[in-house]
A = this chain, B = another copy of it.
Amino acid sequence: MPVGTQATVKGILPRDLIGDLDAKIILGNTYHLYLRPVHETVRRQGGLHGFMAWPRAILTDSGGFQVFSLNSLRKITEEGVLFHSHLNGDPHMFTPESTIDVQMALGSDVMMVLDECIPHPATHEEARVSTDRTVRWARRAMDHFAHHDDGNRAVFPIVQGSMYGDLRRSCAEELVKLDARGYAIGGLSVGEPRPLSLEMTEITTPLLPADRPRYVMGVGMPEELPEYVARGVDMMECVLPSRNARNGCLFTRAGKISIKQNQYKDDARAVDETCGCYTCQNFSRSYLRHLFQAGEMTFSTLATLHNLRRYLDIMREIRQAILIGKYPEYLRACRAGQ
């Protein structure tokens, strides 16, 4: 899923998300949209779909991740979490119920429950206390949603448990009882080694219903996508392709390119000669390097178009391999770097 934090995928117009990338779903960040332009403004403008002219699906996070990553002065109680706006310091409270209300105002198709996302490393006791609270919050969020459920949207509970397999398992077992329309696995990509993220995923996915979407939040590198899918994951989201693009890091079938390097100064080749994106079909590495060096925002647009296309192409390859029953072969080829 391309990330559209503030009601826009940075540098990409909605028509290009459809026409160039055929993205089926994008992610919006509840925390950011709640603070600015304020969710009630979005509601009055037709929800996120109308506001940003995006006709396809939208998933929103609960805001929990940003509350924990952007706030040093937050205060957690059983009721919810008190935090201060990173924009102007104003105090705000998120509860399991209020974050569902905010996401309803945004008109989200797939909403997330409020969870506590703790840093890595955490002690087993810290993780247990936090995970238990996340489960209680998930129950409250689902109860609250039940009063508004028109059958047209979903709320996903989020499995936490830090890097402890027993906590991941018990959390998943409790959340499955909520009979949700899909499930997320959170608390990864918080500084742990990458093999550990995969291990936690591998422990968790078999406990979640196979006939409902399983979504790992905040991953990953291009070569990791097939690994997550191999472990039963259906959905992923990460700022990596778009943020790296803006920083000049471009993903190709043959690996990463740092476009600012001098070796690309007169390189007339496309970023990835096997890629069908607008950027690769029209512009050279030499041109892209020039735009990057000159600080031109067109660079960010062209680079993001390419990196998102690369990610979505990988997911299309994965779906195709699964459909024709060749996923093990596809995975082996990926691992061999082919």
Cβ–Cβ contact A284 & B6, under 8 A = no
Cβ–Cβ contact A8 & B266, under 8 A = no
Cβ–Cβ contact A286 & B51, under 8 A = yes
Q: Does A287 contact B (CB under 8 A)?
A: yes
A269 to chain B, nearest CB (A): 11
Identify which of B45, B265, B268, B291 contacts A268 (C-beta below 8 A).
B45
Count copies of this chain in the complex.
2
Cβ–Cβ contact B282 & A36, under 8 A = no
- Interface residues of A, count at CB 8 A: 39
> Contacts A265-B41, A268-B45; is A10 near B286 (CB within 8 Å)?
no
> Contacts A6-B294, A265-B37; is A52 near B278 (CB within 8 Å)?
no
A49-83 near B? 1/0 per residue, CB < 8 Å: 00111000000000000000000000000000000
Identify which of B45, B266, B278, B296 contacts A286 (C-beta below 8 A).
B45
**Residues from chain B with Cβ under 8 Å of A302 in the complex:** 13
Cβ–Cβ contact B14 & A290, under 8 A = no
Q: Does A11 contact B (CB under 8 A)?
A: yes
Q: Does A23 contact B (CB under 8 A)?
A: no
Cβ–Cβ contact A36 & B287, under 8 A = no
> Contacts A45-B287, A53-B283, A286-B37; is A13 near B296 (CB within 8 Å)?
no
Q: Does A314 contact B (CB under 8 A)?
A: no
> Contacts A266-B44, A286-B37; is A10 near B296 (CB within 8 Å)?
yes
